[in-house]
Amino acid sequence: MKTKSNLERVLEAGHFAVTGELGPPASADPEVIKTKSKFLKGNVDAFNVTDGQTAVVRMASWAASLMGKEEGLDPIVQMTCRDRNRIAMQMDILGIAALGLNNLLCLTGDHQKFGNHPEAKGVYDLDSIQLVKMVKDMRDEKKFQCGDEMRVEPHLFIGAAANPFADPFEIRAMRLAKKVAAGADFIQTQIIYNVDKFAEWMKEVRDMGLHERVKILAGVAPIKSIGAAKYMQNKVPGMDVPDAVIERLRGVPKEQVSKEGIKLCIDIINQVRQIEGVAGIHLMAIEWEEAVPEIVESAGLLPRPKFST
Amino acid sequence: MLISEQKPLEEILGYLDREENIFLIGCKGCAAGWESGGEKQVTEMGNALKEQGKNITGSVVVDMLCDSTLTKLKLRTHKSELAAADSILVLTDGAGVQTVAEIVDKGVHPGCNTLSAGGAHAEWKEAERCLECGDCMLDYTGGICPIARCSKHLLNGPCGGSQNGKCEVDPDIPCVWQLIVDRLTKLGQLNKLEKLVKPKNWSVSLISGLPTRRVS
């Protein structure tokens, strides 16, 4: 064990892992986190706290993570390269570890153009792969990016993202290999609706032996409405929503659509579970956290493993 | 005027590690003015490379290398010398290197770092090619610059927002990593991207280095 992460323990013990996601509020309200935590507790092994997703100002990931930890959850702090340079990142990494948070997901970040401050200066001093390497060197070599040594290193379980649906497809598995070489311990993928394409990517991943070097959690998410499905299909960069998904939702009466969305999510969980090399799922019920218990239970993923110490 | 200086010979030799036959290109414009890639420097570089055991298949110094029409015409007269070369070493700023990469289906190595546009972007309105980062990495990307043309300045490949060859930020902007992957695939050098690129030294860059610098 590299860390005290519950997620690491679950994965090391060979369980099929479940991670959730919590979007912090666009305000200073701590109650939102407490309420959302209730739906996640006992249903997931760890949960991501987004870092200014879609470049909209929200509560800092580490702060909301700390509140989630106080609710008894294992938070995965997200960190993007968009808003911080290497100096700020390393300061935050030290603080995150000192607060007893155990997981860090390293991301490039959504471009500032998409958010509520499109005039902001994007930083991108590092890219996500360089961030992974920097955290790994801090943890395993006790070294800052500049090479200086530190006395107490941050024990963090290092995550990174992968998008099997973005272009150019031929570079996607290689990019995963780079993240693994840089030091990623686990990977969470983009939300999967096109299972065939995901399976094709996983085959490449297996051919490169990457599934044996990193734990891959398949991204899944329930769809609440046909509008949301079409929005993801047309407007969200790097998403692949096949027409068949929209047709399936259209095939039920309007009041049944969200239920069908949950069923579809469960079906996808069952399908990706069969794919060799998938070590778990990352369930992103964004602004629909109350759907988590039903999905996890219906997919047969309860109870979640518990460890005595 | 793009201001450039030659990279250390050691770095250039690193690029040419597995290549023997080199074609050299310089420019009578900015690079000649800054003594980084004029007639004299191209000759000197040829001699230096010969000393290191390289074979120079030929060389040319174009009047304005960033003028792609002119460069195309000029390179046509060196067809066989180009064909005999394993790769091309370009002793100019980043704009000139990328002009050559656009014309020739061969590996192109940058021989210089671009320090500054000296206050002017003459040739590149709406098609900025060089952001004067001061530490040229066009060798790794097949002669197409991700610093200037990736919305996130990514150095280790495309983000998750590249779709159908376009950048997530604007459907009119090509994803530069798609262009890089296409070109390296064409050259049979896609494995170049396997390398983990270290965090960039931005201190030599106009983007976030010193606001002005003295140029002698």
Q: What is the pLDDT of residues A181-226, one digit of tens each?
A: 999 999 999 999 999 999 999 999 999 999 999 999 999 999 999 9
Question: Residue A24 has which token pair?
Answer: 């912090």
Cis peptide leading into A303, omega within 30 of 0?
Answer: yes
State the average pLDDT over residues A91-117.
96
Asked whether residue B216 carries a pLDDT value surpassing 70, the answer given is no
pLDDT (0 to 100) of residue B134 = 86
Q: Do A238 and B152 touch (CB under 8 A)?
A: no
Query: What element of type H or E holds B59?
Result: strand B55-62
Q: Are B98 and B143 in contact (CB under 8 A)?
A: yes
B118: pLDDT confidence band, cut at 50, 70 and 90? low
Q: What does the pLDDT look like over A49-90, one tens digit per residue?
A: 999 999 999 999 999 999 999 999 999 999 999 999 999 999
In chain A, where the domains are located? 6-298
Q: What does the alpha-carbon distance between residue B185 and residue B126 come to, in Å, rounded to a whole number?
A: 26
pLDDT (0 to 100) of residue B115 = 84
Q: Are B110 and B7 in contact (CB under 8 A)?
A: yes
Of the options 2.60.120.10, 3.30.1490.20, 3.20.20.220, 3.40.50.2000, the CATH number for the domain spanning A6-298: 3.20.20.220
State the average pLDDT over residues A172-178.
95
Query: What element of type H or E holds A177?
Result: helix A172-182
pLDDT (0 to 100) of residue B2 = 82
pLDDT (0 to 100) of residue A279 = 98
A141: pLDDT confidence band, cut at 50, 70 and 90? very high
pLDDT (0 to 100) of residue B16 = 96
In a domain, B46, yes or no: yes
State the average pLDDT over residues A300-305.
97
Query: Model-level pTM?
Result: 0.91
In a domain, B118, yes or no: yes
pLDDT (0 to 100) of residue A309 = 63
The minimal CB distance from B165 to the residues A167, A181, A182 is found for A167
In a domain, B13, yes or no: yes
In a domain, B56, yes or no: yes
C-alpha distances in Å from residue A16, one per residue of A13, A115, B67, B74, B198: 9, 35, 58, 62, 34
Asked whether residue B125 carries a pLDDT value surpassing 90, the answer given is no
- Across chain B, mean pLDDT equals 90
Alpha helices in A236-309 (DSSP H): 243-250, 257-273, 292-298
Give the total number of structural domains in chain B. Answer: 1
Q: What does the alpha-carbon distance between residue B30 and residue B158 come to, in Å, rounded to a whole number?
A: 32
Could you give the maximum distance between any two Cα atoms of chain A, in Å? 62
| A-chain residues near B153 (CB < 8 A) | 124, 127
Q: Are A249 and A261 in contact (CB under 8 A)?
A: yes
Eight-class DSSP state of B211: S
In a domain, B64, yes or no: yes
Alpha-carbon dihedral of residues A45, A51, A52, A58, nearest 10 degrees?
80
The domain in which residue B115 lies consists of 3-142+198-204
In a domain, B187, yes or no: no
In a domain, B192, yes or no: no
Chain B contact residues (CB < 8 Å to A): 151-165, 168-170, 175, 177-178, 181-182, 185, 190, 193-194, 196-200, 202
B120: pLDDT confidence band, cut at 50, 70 and 90? low
pLDDT (0 to 100) of residue B132 = 82
State the average pLDDT over residues B84-95.
95
Q: Which of residues 250-309 of A touch B (CB under 8 A)?
A: none
Q: Do A170 and B181 touch (CB under 8 A)?
A: yes
- Across chain A, mean pLDDT equals 96
* Side chain identity, residue A76: I
Q: Report the CATH number at residue B125.
A: 3.40.50.11860
SS3 for A143?
strand
Q: What does the alpha-carbon distance between residue A194 and residue A31 come to, in Å, rounded to a whole number?
A: 36
Q: What does the pLDDT look like over B39-64, one tens digit per residue?
A: 999 999 999 999 999 999 999 999 99
